[in-house]
Amino acid sequence: MKVNPINISNCMKVSDLVDEFDRSGVLGAGRVGRACNILTDMIQDDDMKVFMSLGGPLIPGGMRNIVTKMIENRHVDLIVSSGANITHDLVEAFGGSHYRHEGRDDEELNEEGIGRIADINVGSDDFTIFETEIIKIFEKISSERNHISIQELLYEIGLMVDDENSFVAAAAKNNVPIFAPGLIDSMMGLQLWIFNQDHDFVVDAVADMHYLSDIVFEAEKVGAILLGGGLTKHYTLASNVIKGGLDAAIQITMDRPEAGSLGGAPLEEAKSWAKARCGSSLASVVGDVTVIFPLIYAACLDRISSD
């Protein structure tokens, strides 16, 4: 099959552009096209549970409303998130913001109480509000129960958040469970530790595995959207080992495979561990999630609405 040149025209839709990528079939364009095809098939398959992992600074990087929209559209059934993405979602839910970095010196930022994530700034005042509000929520939850799983904790938090753009709130309201195996490695985790200095409040990470394994076993098929690498990617893959691996998956990452890290590993490698089934539909795209996934999902939405 020959490589087709990519054609563009005035006023073409995002889905038309991605279709051109798919027709070309090679390099990054071809991988984006295949990923969009797989995502569309996953969403339209009523027998498939769709897991989504969120690694890297996706929420402070502008992806918050997209994740929330996917939940509200019922295009994702389960989320595995870093603690940081949950924290940054709640920072905004409690009235804080993320700001564009304007090239200032990091030592100056430190003096002013501003933290930097690449070209994103977050002020200490916003984290102070977060700390105050999350402690209030911990107080309410712990007054009713002193032993809770991470997933249950996030569900209870989501029910108390009044922000239509919060993915944590949307997940709770739409019964989409959020798992965060690395929650302690975040500002929320720090606040949990501080809270536990004078409260009998146990957050049980192992308890999540009972609920997660039930979801995997009861699903006819499981697909995954892996945004970024690291712990969230591995937790999503490893949770499906118990049933022979994922049936379909796409991943978008900037990590490279040469060093052997999981974040940079192509999805095909997961077949050797039975984290993805032999014969499964897989696509690995190398690039910035905040550029590529909105493009893919916008094209997917257009395809679904046209069917």
Decide if 275 is catalytic: yes
Question: Can you give the three-state secondary structure of the chain, one letter per residue?
Answer: CCCCCCCCCCCCCHHHHHHHHHHHCCHHHHHHHHHHHHHHHHHHCCCEEEEEEECCCCHHHHHHHHHHHHHHCCCCCEEEECHHHHHHHHHHHCCCCCEECCCCCHHHHHHCCEEEECCEEEEHHHHHHHHHHHHHHHHHHHCCCCEEEHHHHHHHHHHHCCCCCCHHHHHHHCCCCEECCCCCCCHHHHHHHHHCCCCCCEEECCHHHHHHHHHHHHCCEEEEEEECCCHHHHHHHHCCHHHCCEEEEEEEECCCCCCCCCCCCCCCHHHHCCCEEEEEEEEEEECCHHHHHHHHHHHHHHHHHHC
Catalytic, out of 2, 13, 233, 275: 275
What are the residue numbers of the active site?
275
